[in-house]
Amino acid sequence: MTDPQPPYLRIVADVERRIADGSLRPGDPVPTTRAIMREWGVAMATATKALTALKQAGAIESTSRVGAVVARRRLPSRSVGGLDRDRVVRVAMGIADADGLAALSARAVAAKLGVATVTLREHLDADLPQLIADAAFAEIEYPQPPPGWRAHLRVAARLQWAVYQRHPWLPRLVSIVRPATLPGLLAYAEWTLRALDGLGLDQRTRLHVYAAVVNHVRGTAVNIEGEAGAELDTGMTSKQWMTARLAVDGPLVAHIARVAGPGADVDLESLFDFGLERLLDGLTTVVTPRKIHR
């Protein structure tokens, strides 16, 4: 029986199938135009049309060194029980944003989408928490890196901090010692590690510098969700709460204020800023002795 599907769409489906089953992973080169011509026995125009369709779908992207590779920052859209995969992820993220990770489940997502839970589970190729974590990091728009490793790492930390503020559940899904190899997370790691290029650092030191910055941001951001909940419950910011506690624990709070000094106050933003700058100060002792002077 003759296949009514155009040849270029059969090629697109085959490549997307390889991406889905892991034969082609994020960052892997995809078959070139000539390789497609040989493997599928098609003309150059058909091979070119297939690669164009894959790029438009977000499944592949072009790089200056390798050529076309499997996209790192987003997974290709695929059907989930007749639904677009991106829509499934958006719904799952909306549930987590509104009610926290405890409310996220395949059942809850399926109910929002109006499909059977078993259908959703059968078609997902990763856990929902992993998918929404990757989607959150894929939101990052990377600017042109500023000159200097310190300024670059500062920007990287602030990009990560901003993602955590938008999605307070996210820090709990980020592991330093068991990182997930997903496109959005890999893109962040690659952009951040570029800050250390040309400094003469060995791979182990580069990894530890990267992990130290990520861990500071994540460790501080773990408190965002709790602070948001406390502010919702009490109707007060942390500063307002501290002022109110003077009436209850006056001597203790007053003593802490005297020790800290006049005008002293602490919130998550100031803790993040102070800790980041002191971390960068410390990393100077690691980076500077190895810096290559030209």
Mean pLDDT of 184-192: 87
Q: Does residue 265 lie within any of the structural domains?
A: yes
Q: How confident is the model at residue 87 (pLDDT cuts 50, 70, 90)?
A: confident
DSSP state letter for 146: P
pLDDT band at 44 (very low <50, low <70, confident <90, very high): confident
Residue 61 pairs in a beta bridge with 69
Indicate whether 113 and 224 sit together in one domain: no
Where helices occur in 4-148 by DSSP H, the ranges are 7-20, 33-40, 44-56, 85-99, 106-113, 117-123, 128-138
Q: How confident is the model at residue 236 (pLDDT cuts 50, 70, 90)?
A: low
**95/49 same-domain check:** no
- What CATH number does the domain containing 235 carry? 1.10.357.10
Of residues 133 and 67, the one with the higher pLDDT is: 133
pLDDT of residue 211: 93
Are 277 and 159 part of one and the same domain? yes
Q: Number of helices (H) and strands (E), helices first, in the chain?
A: 13, 4
Same domain, 263 and 218: yes
| Of 214, 130, 92, 210, the residue nearest 164 (C-alpha) | 214
Greater confidence (67 vs 227) lies with 67
* CATH number of the domain that residue 43 is part of: 1.10.10.10
95 pLDDT above the threshold of 80: yes
Higher pLDDT, 177 or 101: 101
Containing domain of residue 107, as a range? 79-128
31 with 164, same domain: the answer is no
Do 198 and 267 belong to one domain?
yes
Is the domain of 17 the same as that of 98?
Answer: no
pLDDT at 99 > cutoff 70: yes
Q: Considering its fold, how many domains does the chain have in total?
A: 3
Same domain? 220 vs 98: no
Instruction: Among 48, 70, 92, identify where a domain stops.
Output: 70
pLDDT in tens, 244-265: 555 555 555 555 555 444 555 6
pLDDT classification of 193: cutoffs 50, 70, 90? very high
Same domain? 217 vs 187: yes
Instruction: Write down the pTM of the prediction.
Output: 0.62
Residue 285 CB coordination number (10 Å): 8
Is residue 181 assigned to a domain? yes
Domain boundary among 70, 91, 108: 70
Q: Are residues 186 and 223 in the same domain?
A: yes
pLDDT of residue 217: 94
183 and 112 housed in the same domain: no
**Residue 21 above 80 pLDDT?**
no
Q: Which residue has the higher pLDDT, 17 or 273?
A: 273
pLDDT for res 177: 74
In terms of domains, do 206 and 175 share one?
yes
Residues contacting 176, CB < 8 A, separation 6+: 211, 214, 215, 218
The CATH number for 118's domain is: 1.10.10.60
User: Looking at the predicted structure, is the pLDDT value of residue 94 above 70?
Assistant: yes
Of 102, 114, 28, which is closest to residue 67 (Cα–Cα)?
A: 28
Q: Pick the range with the lowest mean pLDDT from 14-18, 66-70, 260-264.
A: 260-264
Q: Is there a domain that residue 137 lies in?
A: no
